[in-house]
A and B are shown apart, each in its own frame.
Chain A
């Protein structure tokens, strides 16, 4: 089966600019996750969707980050305006359902904010 797809793979922007990341989960997977991984740290969950509803966005900086999952399939994560500390790898993952099911990760988008 095809894996989780993400684009772009790399992005360099200046602070205060906006950026958007796209994720296409594995077909049929109901749950989609966005993680932020800062250099030297483990991934940190930003937001979790179950179909097109938000399950957990407690760690999403909502003043500048937003995410949506229209039609319960693809998802976009947006940062507006970006700050230097947003430089990180943004990982998308999906799983058939929430719970014990394994999460399958995409290749990530490496964001550099200058």
Chain B
């Protein structure tokens, strides 16, 4: 069975501080991992995917197969980063989401 775990329901950080959202997964095959974000009053949207190895809005995420993790990081949080973040795993054709982490960036 595939599973995605986001251990933090809420992450509160100060503007300019680093932020790291944790995501751990269990999957027997080769995973495809994603981070989705939902800003207030907006739709759920893709933030980044591990195969792209890109930085989006200053965020990066590295797939660590040894630790089965796909943590999302940003060195300097901005107020506009306040949102709900979901880690998702694509396995056996199905996208499975974690429960999400609410990020609040305070000035």
User: How many angstroms between the C-alpha atoms of A45 and B94 in the bound complex?
Assistant: 8
B95 in the interface, Cβ–Cβ < 8 Å? yes
Question: Do residues A42 and B93 form an inter-chain contact, with CB atoms below 8 A?
Answer: no
Contacts of B46 in A (CB 8 A): 102-103
**Alpha-carbon distance A12/B43, docked complex (angstroms):** 21
CB contacts under 8 Å to A, within B93-107, are 93-100
Q: A2 contacts the other chain (Cβ, under 8 Å)?
A: no
Q: Is the interface of A mostly helix, strand, loop or mixed?
A: loop
B45: chain A residues within 8 A (beta carbon): 104-105
The number of chain A residues with a CB under 8 A from chain B is 23
Instruction: Give min CB distance, A5 to chain B, whole Å.
Output: 11
B54 interface residue per 8 A CB criterion: no
CA–CA, A103 and B35, complex, Å: 12
**Binary interface encoding of chain A residues 2-31 relative to chain B, with 1 for a CB under 8 A from any of its CBs, else 0:** 011000000000000000000000000000
Q: Chain A residues with Cβ under 8 A from B4's Cβ?
A: 42
B93 close to A107 (CB less than 8 A): no
Instruction: Name the one of B44, B51, B88, B98 contacting A91, with C-beta atoms under 8 angstroms.
Output: B44
Q: Is the CB of A100 within 8 A of B93?
A: no
CB < 8 Å neighbour of B93 from A4, A44, A55: A55
* A residues 31-68 in Cβ contact with B at 8 Å: 33, 40-45, 48, 55-56
Q: Which 4 A-B pairs have the closest CB atoms?
A: A42-B97, A105-B44, A102-B46, A105-B43
Which residues on A are within 8 Å of B, measured CB to CB? 3-4, 33, 40-45, 48, 55-56, 91, 93, 98, 100, 102-108
